[in-house]
Amino acid sequence: MLLRHTTDKVVERKALTVNPAKTCQPVGAMYAALGVHGCLPHSHGSQGCCSYHRSALTRHYKDPIMASTSSFTEGSSVFGGQANLLQGLNNIFKIYEPDIVAVHSTCLSETIGDDLGQIVKKAFDDGKVPEGKHVIYAPTPSYVGSHVTGYANMLEGIVKYFPESTDNLINQVNLLAGWVEPSDMRELKRIMKEMKVANVLLPDTSDVVDTPMTGKYEMYPKGGTTIPEMVSMGDSKHTLAIGSYATTLAAKNIDNKCKVPYTVEDLPIGLKATDRFIATLAKIAGVTVPESISDERGRLVDLITDMHQYFYGKRVALFGDPDQLVPLTEFLLDLDMKPVYVVSGTPGKEFQTKMKEVYGDRCPEAIVKNGPQADIFYLHQLIKREGVDLLIGNTYGKYIARDENLPFVRYGFPIVDRIGHSYFPSLGYTGGLRLLEKILGALMDHQDATCSEIKLELVM
Q: Shortest gap between Cβ of 114 and ligand SF4 (angstroms)? A: 13
DSSP letters, 83-137, are HHHHHHHHHHHHHT--SEEEEEE-HHHHHHT--HHHHHHHHHHTT-S-TT-EEEE
Find the binder of ligand SF4 among 89, 107, 173, 368 (CB under 6 A): 107
Q: Shortest gap between Cβ of 67 and ligand SF4 (angstroms)? A: 13
Residue 314 CA to residue 327 CA, distance in Å, equals 18
Q: Shortest gap between Cβ of 63 and ligand SF4 (angstroms)? A: 21
Query: In this complex, which beta carbon is closest to ligand SF4, that of residue 29 or of residue 368?
Result: 29
Query: In this complex, which beta carbon is closest to ligand SF4, that of residue 47 or of residue 294?
Result: 47
Query: In this complex, which beta carbon is closest to ligand SF4, that of residue 20 or of residue 38?
Result: 20
Least Cα distance to 375 among 394, 362, 390 occurs for 394
Residue 234 CA to residue 260 CA, distance in Å, equals 7
Residue 34 CA to residue 185 CA, distance in Å, equals 13
Query: In this complex, which beta carbon is closest to ligand SF4, that of residue 26 or of residue 412?
Result: 26
In angstroms, how far is the first alpha carbon of the chain from the final one? 32
Q: Shortest gap between Cβ of 294 and ligand SF4 (angstroms)? A: 45
Angle between helices 291-311 and 271-285 (to 10 degrees): 160
Name residue 206's amino acid: S
Name residue 231's amino acid: V
Query: In this complex, which beta carbon is closest to ligand SF4, that of residue 69 or of residue 174?
Result: 69
Q: Shortest gap between Cβ of 347 and ligand SF4 (angstroms)? A: 15
Task: Tell me: does residue 76 bind ligand SF4 (CB under 6 A).
Answer: no
Q: Shortest gap between Cβ of 52 and ligand SF4 (angstroms)? A: 5
Task: Tell me: does residue 52 bind ligand SF4 (CB under 6 A).
Answer: yes
Residue 430 CA to residue 435 CA, distance in Å, equals 9
Angle between helices 244-258 and 322-334 (to 10 degrees): 120
Residues 6+ apart with CB under 8 A from 25: 104, 140, 141, 142, 144, 145, 146, 147, 149, 150, 153
Contacts to ligand SF4 from residues 365-424, by CB under 6 A: none
Q: Shortest gap between Cβ of 55 and ligand SF4 (angstroms)? A: 11
Query: In this complex, which beta carbon is closest to ligand SF4, that of residue 50 or of residue 382?
Result: 50
The helix (run of H) or strand (run of E) holding residue 7 is none
Name 339's bridge partners.
Answer: 316
Name residue 93's amino acid: F
Task: Tell me: does residue 26 bind ligand SF4 (CB under 6 A).
Answer: yes
Reduced to 3 states (helix: H, G, I; strand: E, B; else coil), residue 244 is: helix
Query: In this complex, which beta carbon is closest to ligand SF4, that of residue 28 or of residue 163?
Result: 28
Size of interface with ligand SF4, in residues (CB under 6 A): 7
Task: Tell me: does residue 346 bind ligand SF4 (CB under 6 A).
Answer: no
Query: In this complex, which beta carbon is closest to ligand SF4, that of residue 44 or of residue 128?
Result: 44
Greatest CA separation for the chain? 78
Task: Tell me: does residue 324 bind ligand SF4 (CB under 6 A).
Answer: no
Contacts to ligand SF4 from residues 176-215, by CB under 6 A: none
Task: Tell me: does residue 49 bind ligand SF4 (CB under 6 A).
Answer: yes
Query: In this complex, which beta carbon is closest to ligand SF4, that of residue 76 or of residue 106?
Result: 106
Angle between helices 291-311 and 428-450 (to 10 degrees): 20
Burial of 40: CB neighbours in 10 Å, binned 0-12, 13-18, 19+: buried
Query: In this complex, which beta carbon is closest to ligand SF4, that of residue 113 or of residue 364?
Result: 113
Task: Tell me: does residue 106 bind ligand SF4 (CB under 6 A).
Answer: yes
Task: Tell me: does residue 33 bind ligand SF4 (CB under 6 A).
Answer: no
Q: Shortest gap between Cβ of 48 and ligand SF4 (angstroms)? A: 7
Residues 433/300, Cβ–Cβ less than 8 Å? yes
Task: Tell me: does residue 359 bind ligand SF4 (CB under 6 A).
Answer: no
Contacts to ligand SF4 from residues 134-163, by CB under 6 A: 142
Query: In this complex, which beta carbon is closest to ligand SF4, that of residue 72 or of residue 408?
Result: 72
The helix (run of H) or strand (run of E) holding residue 5 is none
- Catalog residues that contact ligand SF4 under the rule CB under 6 A: 24, 26, 49, 52, 106-107, 142
